Amino acid sequence: MGKKMKIIPVLLIGCGGVGRQLLHHIVSCRSLHAKQGVHLRVIGVCDSRSLVVASDALTTELNDKILMEICHVKSSGGSLSNLSNLGESKLFSDTEATKKVIDIATLLGKATGLACVDCSASSDTVNVLKQVVDLGCCIVLANKKPLTSTIEDYNKLTPHPRRIRHESTVGAGLPVIASLTRMLSSGDPVHHIVGSLSGTLGYIMSEVEEGKPLSQVVKVAKSLGYTEPDPRDDLSGMDVARKALILARLLGQQINLGDIKVESLFPKEMGPDVMPIDDFLNKGVLSLDNDIKERVTKASSKGNVLRYACTVEFSSSRCEVGLQEFPKDSPLGRLKGSDNVLVVYSRCYNERPLVIQGAGAGNDTTAAGVLADILDLQDLF
């Protein structure tokens, strides 16, 4: 008797860079997954405006040809409504799409189960995800915003830890969440975490350390595609703060984003709502050069380097992100380029902490982490 194929129905929210890369991974891994006895049945894909769904969510799927056409249309800047060869698949828009997602979750939650995967960057998905969880479905997140919404939202998303996976919300594909979860479930209390969790800010700080002006480094990083379209989204530290909040909540801290002390690398008067981006890049960021240079020099005189880091301490409920000094021979001090590193102190890892380091950014790495998370849920199907 051949081994029965395990089928995981997948509904994807968001087909930007990470979502498209996930679809590519799913298609390219078909033969590998078949050998492992598992099949990912993609029943629907939605962007911010539309939902494409298989003709029968219980039995059919969007075939690989449609999935690749979705990737092509979206990478060309189009919408799902521009798809031409839908076959028997159906297209829903706006409020219809949200209602259809809930209908599918209601149907499959009772029947086969469903993995609802959020690869968007939207804060609007949290209400849909809460309903999906209530209906008994699993959720897999690369999107940080649902997990960094209010603590009430967080607790509604995470009542069944086995049914949620979110490795790619912190450190792209690095095994950060899995490592911490294993330690906590084995009774090894984590008491202190420190890390550099922004590849962008890691790159910027290691370049500034080489003597280059901050303004020049920011412009180069933007031209290389390392930063968000507006680099202030990175320089504000809010992305790192969201990652720190996810870690703090994982350790049991019932805190909100507003409770985290965040050091922005630019003053409020240079914020996106006050200063246009061109003014910031041409004038504003130049005025920040001297201060950063002085702080780098001061750190260097003590044998230290400057890093943009997050610190989470369980005993004191301390959670903060900002520039910190580290010895040159420490894990954060040795960090170069856009790598992420997380240093974890616990009862077992006390004198010699657990260090997790590697590429912490990139659509490919992040999507691979999402795919691994989906497969990690297969025992539930």
19 belongs to an annotated ligand binding site = yes
Contact in structure between 119 and 16 (CB atoms under 8 Å): yes
The torsion angles phi and psi of 56, rounded to 5 degrees, stand at -135, 110
Distance (Å, whole) CA 282 – CA 64: 46
333 belongs to an annotated ligand binding site = no
Our measurement of the distance from residue 113's CA atom to the centroid of its chain's CA atoms, rounded to an integer in Å, reads 24
- Helix (H), strand (E), coil (C) string for 135-198: CCCEEEECCCCHHHCCHHHHHHHCCCHHHEECHHHCCCCCCHHHHHHHHHHCCCCEEEEEEECC
Distance (Å, whole) CA 235 – CA 206: 14
Our measurement of the distance from residue 336's CA atom to the centroid of its chain's CA atoms, rounded to an integer in Å, reads 21
Residue with tokens 């830890």: 161
* Nearest partner of 208 among 133, 339, 94, 297, judged by Cα: 297
137: alpha, beta or left? (left if phi > 0; alpha if psi -120 to 50): beta
Helix 214-223 to helix 199-209 angle, to the nearest 10 degrees?
140
15 belongs to an annotated ligand binding site = yes
* Alpha-helical regions (H) of the chain: 17-28, 30-35, 64-75, 94-110, 126-134, 151-157, 176-185, 199-209, 214-223, 232-235, 238-250, 277-282, 289-301, 363-376
Task: Enumerate the β-bridge partners of residue 190.
Answer: 346
The torsion angles phi and psi of 185, rounded to 5 degrees, stand at -75, -15
Which residues does the annotation mark as catalytic?
A: 243
Exposure string of 117-149, with b = 16+ CB inside 10 Å and e = fewer, is: bbbbbeeebbebbbbbbebbbbbbbbbbbbbbb
* Nearest partner of 288 among 325, 305, 263, judged by Cα: 263
35 belongs to an annotated ligand binding site = no
* 3 state DSSP class of 36: coil
Distance (Å, whole) CA 286 – CA 284: 5
14 belongs to an annotated ligand binding site = yes
Amino acid, res. 297: T
Q: Which residues line the annotated binding site for NADP(+)?
A: 14-19
Q: Which residues line the annotated binding site?
A: 14-19, 144, 228
Q: Which residues line the annotated binding site for L-homoserine?
A: 228
